[in-house]
Amino acid sequence: MLSILVVGICKGALWALVAAGFAMIFGTTRVFHFAHGAIFVWGAYFFDALLIFKTPAAVAFLGSILLAAILGVGIDAGIYRPLQSRGAPPTTVLLGSLAIYTVLVNTAGLAFGDRTLVLRAGTDQMYSLGPILITRMQTVECVSSLALFVVLSIVFRYTNMGLDIRAVADNQALAEWRGINTSFVRLVVVAFGSGLAAFAGIIAGLDTGLDPTAGLPISLLAVSATIFAGSDRLAAPMMISGVMGATHSLITWFTSGTWADALFYTILFGALIWRAHKPRESTGEVS
């Protein structure tokens, strides 16, 4: 069972990257960016497409993250900003995000098919750490998530851009009054958050694979982690995602795979209802 718990934590670490990107974007733009799940999917498909054209793996990896960042910025510039500048209510922007998600997912299905995309060939290498069995890609999930968490913490706490992002997330009007270029900050946040989602999508494709519909559960998990933990501290949604991953694996272990998702989302829904009746004191920080 210890191996199952570790595998769940690794899965949660991958979810944490997506949740961190979603929380960053929501904190800065105040948009429930459901299309973030489609960025997750397209990161893997961009990588696959570049490999088809014989692009070196390292270049394809970086290129797919860049393309996903451009896609995210394009969604923000072409859909979210125009709607918000015209005074559209948040529900309208949310519907726009859902529409973009639907378009992107169906485009992926039309272009690449509905089959499960696995970006590696053959079986993955297995490591044995005492009683714990873990694959190479699961190790990459944990290590990369921890490394990116450290990078994010340093950026948000000790760089001018990090301070600007925190200021915009806390109070955009005051940030503008202080001379911060909020449009540029927003662009950087959307690009970086989209890059995190694409990174997670590529790793997922290299691990167990994904299909065009994989973005919906990822979006739901990212939204849930942000609602439950808040967007003012990036560490909180990431840790909640880790707990979610461990919980999902334990449920799968103790029940059949058929009922695992149903039980997991029932528990998650109950936790969100409990959280809604337990007000959180905001610190106004993003860290």
Number of domains in the chain: 1
Report residue 267's pLDDT band, with 50, 70 and 90 as the boundaries: confident
Give percent of the chain above pLDDT 90.
38
Domain that holds residue 83: 2-276
Once rounded to an integer, what is the mean pLDDT over residues 117-128? 76
Is residue 87 left, alpha or beta, with left meaning phi > 0 and alpha meaning psi from -120 to 50?
left
Once rounded to an integer, what is the mean pLDDT over residues 8-29? 87
Query: Is residue 227 scored above 90 in pLDDT?
Result: no
Which residues in 19-160 belong to E strands, given as ranges?
A: 126-129, 132-135
Query: Is residue 172 scored above 70 in pLDDT?
Result: yes
Once rounded to an integer, what is the mean pLDDT over residues 230-242? 71
Report the distance separating Cα 21 and Cα 65, nearest Å: 13
Of 11-15, 126-130, 218-222, least confident by mean pLDDT is 126-130
Report the distance separating Cα 30 and Cα 94, nearest Å: 10
221, 19 contact by CB (below 8 A): yes
* Sign of the alpha-carbon torsion through 283, 187, 164, 92: negative
pLDDT number for residue 283: 42
Once rounded to an integer, what is the mean pLDDT over residues 250-255? 77
Mean residue pLDDT of the chain comes to 85
Of 120-124, 166-170, 217-221, least confident by mean pLDDT is 120-124
Q: How far is CA 271 from CA 67, 105, 133, 219, 232, in A?
A: 36, 29, 30, 17, 20
Q: Nearest CA to 93 among 39, 184, 30?
A: 30
pLDDT number for residue 12: 83
Report residue 280's pLDDT band, with 50, 70 and 90 as the boundaries: low
Query: Is residue 279 scored above 70 in pLDDT?
Result: no
Of 104-113, 169-178, 270-279, least confident by mean pLDDT is 270-279
Domain membership of residue 158 (yes or no) is yes
Domain membership of residue 202 (yes or no) is yes
Which residues in the chain belong to E strands, given as ranges?
A: 126-129, 132-135
- CB atoms inside a 10 Å sphere around CB 94: 16
pLDDT number for residue 118: 84
Give 194's contacts (C-beta < 8 A, 6+ positions apart): 21, 25, 36, 39, 68, 69, 71, 72, 73
Report the distance separating Cα 210 and Cα 42, nearest Å: 10
Which among 54-63, 124-133, 134-143, 210-219 has the top mean pLDDT? Answer: 54-63
Once rounded to an integer, what is the mean pLDDT over residues 167-191? 91
Domain membership of residue 36 (yes or no) is yes
4, 248 contact by CB (below 8 A): no
Once rounded to an integer, what is the mean pLDDT over residues 245-273? 76
Give percent of the chain above pLDDT 70.
91
Report residue 278's pLDDT band, with 50, 70 and 90 as the boundaries: low
Residue 133 sits in a domain of what CATH number?
1.10.3470
223, 21 contact by CB (below 8 A): no
Once rounded to an integer, what is the mean pLDDT over residues 152-175? 88
Domain membership of residue 284 (yes or no) is no
Domain membership of residue 149 (yes or no) is yes
Report residue 287's pLDDT band, with 50, 70 and 90 as the boundaries: very low
Query: Is residue 285 scored above 60 in pLDDT?
Result: no
Domain membership of residue 285 (yes or no) is no
Domain membership of residue 283 (yes or no) is no
Dihedrals phi, psi of 208, to nearest 5 degrees: -100, -10
